Amino acid sequence: MSLPRLHPRTIEAVKERADIVDVVGEHVVLKKKGREYVGICPFHDDKSPSMTVSPAKQFYYCFSCGAGGNAIKFLMEHQRQSFSDVVLELARKYQLPIETLDGPQQERLRKQLSRREQLHKVLTLAAGWFRSQLRSPAGAAALAYLRDGRGLSEATLEAFELGYAPEQWDGLLGHLQQVEGLGPELLEAAGLVVPRKGGDGFYDRFRHRVMVPIKDRQGRVIGFGGRSLDGGEPKYLNSPETELFEKGKHLFGLDKASTAIRKDDRAVVVEGYFDVIALHAAGITNAVAALGTALSSQQITQLCRCCESRRLILNFDSDGAGVRAAQRAIGEVEQLALQGQLELRVLHLPAGKDPDEFLKTQGAGDYRALLDQAPLWLDWQIEQVLEGRDLARPDQFQQAVSALVALLGKLPQSAVRSHYLQRVAERLSGGQARLAIQLEDDLRQQVKGQRWHGRSQKWEQPGEAGLRERAEAELLRLYLHCPSHRSAIRVELRQRELDDFALQPHRLLWAAISSLEEDNLGAGRLEAINRGKDPGLDLGDLDLPRLLADQLVVEQSALLGRLTPLLEPNELQRMALGQPLLQLRGAAAALERQKSLKRCRHLLDAWSSQRLETLERCISRLLEEERQEAQAAASGLAPISDMEVRIEALFAELNGDALRFQELYYNERKHLEHLDFQRRAAYGEVLAQPAA
């Protein structure tokens, strides 16, 4: 519909009610600094907090790019929305009356708002019916499961309004239609029923499951999570995305936890509903959970708004899936943590237990003690790198060093980096003090030259970003539309260390691809395919373009538009897929060449910045040492041949850094020539193919 002409009273009411800290804080992690707040500006590539938000002036301003204005201006710029859209969104959020200057528009707007109210009503009625079913004879097994199996008290059952969906195809549907007079289309929009394949009616989405209502921060029911009681799959079933329920924007339990998070000044993030429920029942009421997805930046921002010190503790399961979930969550906030904008810790409970199991055996006191001792995210990641590696084996030692250098290279040059270099060197040395000193120096040099990984934008030249985008797009297009070559593409990306795509849309697409493939093949098999230890023939069985399009429509519709050319290539792009393995080598070599070029620039700069010690100074220093030795030993000078050897050794020692950078630069240039040969050979052969 056309945008309504809003009445000035509505506009003024929104301006008066919308708090600048509240609005900006939903999109930017803000940290209190005196009377104001500071944060990373979202309107330019901000490396350190340059945006200031003033509660007194109700104004934001970035001292780097000049962006500034009130709460409405911020949302208009950040969300790319019109003035009317932003005012309407804020009016709905704060539940303010909305008036327009046009009668028909006012009526259409009233109906639109009424629909959202109807959805809230439907979900509230459903929650009440589920609760009543839990207390009915049909819900006896579910109630026993909650009381005996989970050990939940009546107070906890009531506090979280737990219920039961009976083992019927239309129990909820029939009740809401017959008793409440609600139509099935409205129930479908609320995510409660599913249309039959034949198109002749609907059936209940949730059947024979313990039901957990999911609420927004205002305490309104927006969806449900259902736990299977008979071992049926999936074990946990969430409501689908609806007008009210967006998984990446909400946190289970935040409506009950926000006060405790502010009081304790930290938030605990766990994986499951029953972990949250068990923690709250044990008196640890600052716990929340993500809703079946990796923790998103929006969810993290919500948590940061609740605690002034921005302290988050991730307590995910200790299995492979839990570790990957923790790593993904860390990836969302890594830059903020590195910049000191928040304090992130990771707790893995002993013996692989989840919080619910741990509380049953150990109790709340021990859990709180472990929370207080939870390591910082970087300490946890270091332990993950070292875990299970036999450092006595050269290959595993080298793998550990490479991973640790990449990890420590993210730290800014500071006392913190020095602290971690020393700690890591001590761990790698196995307690040998002299070896630890040498390792610390070696690690420092590698991190300093780091990164020789070639990802830093500092060494990028104009035009290279476009080349990288095209090469990444070509690799992804090959993967999506040449299914028989997917395992070969995975091996190539892993061997060349190219599976961490630089562009965010490409990175998100690759993560979605990997998630779908993990669901079908398992994480272990997918990793074996990456390493070339599994042929991965069944990777080609997945219709990835269709599956990804369906997933992105539901979860990230804005991203779908950006990725449509990859999911649905045009005729010319399809013709270009005729020689997939040659194109793979060419595109991969082009990407690796970019990284190699940046490494060359970095090494050349590092090499040229070194101060070379002259041979004359080396000779002078050695002569002085000889005089001191002669005086002490009352003996003559060393033979000239020995002196020449010592001069050469001292020259190499004093100029070690410069010589090391020189050697690395030479090797990188040789590697660059090899990549150029690969690229020319691949693209030359493709171009030489006759037209179809």
Buried/exposed 388-413: b ≥16 CB within 10 Å, e otherwise:
eeebeeeeeeeebbebbbbbbbbbee
Q: What is the distance between the alpha carbons of residues 208 and 230, in angstroms, rounded to a whole number? A: 8
Residues facing residue 394 across a β-bridge: none
- Strands 31-33 vs 221-228: parallel, antiparallel or unpaired: unpaired
Q: In Å, how far are 483, 550, 607, 670 from 557, measured between CA atoms?
A: 25, 10, 47, 44
What per-residue confidence (pLDDT) applies to 317? 80
Ranges under pLDDT 70 in the chain: 1-5, 100-114, 292-294, 413-414, 448-465, 552-558, 560-561, 596, 599-600, 602-666, 668, 678-692
What per-residue confidence (pLDDT) applies to 683? 54
Residues facing residue 252 across a β-bridge: 289
Identify whether the C-beta of residue 683 lies closer than 8 Å to the C-beta of residue 586: yes
pLDDT in tens, 408-447: 887 876 678 888 888 899 889 887 888 888 888 888 877 7
Instruction: Please list the alpha-helical segments (H only) found in 362-430.
Output: 364-372, 377-386, 394-408, 415-429
Q: What is the distance between the alpha carbons of residues 618 and 689, in angstroms, rounded to a whole number? A: 61
Place of tokens 């990175």: 507
- What mean pLDDT is reported for the chain? 81
As given in the structure block, the two tokens for residue 161 are: 């309004």
- Strands 236-238 vs 221-228: parallel, antiparallel or unpaired: antiparallel
Looking at residue 148, its amino acid is: D
Torsion region of 532: left, alpha or beta (phi above 0 gives left; psi -120 to 50 gives alpha): left
Torsion region of 131: left, alpha or beta (phi above 0 gives left; psi -120 to 50 gives alpha): alpha
| Coil vs helix vs strand at 291 | coil
Q: What is the distance between the alpha carbons of residues 171 and 186, in angstroms, rounded to a whole number? A: 16
What per-residue confidence (pLDDT) applies to 692? 36
Identify whether the C-beta of residue 208 lies closer than 8 Å to the C-beta of residue 232: yes
- The percent of residues in the chain predicted with pLDDT above 70, rounded, is 80
575 CA to centre of own chain: 35
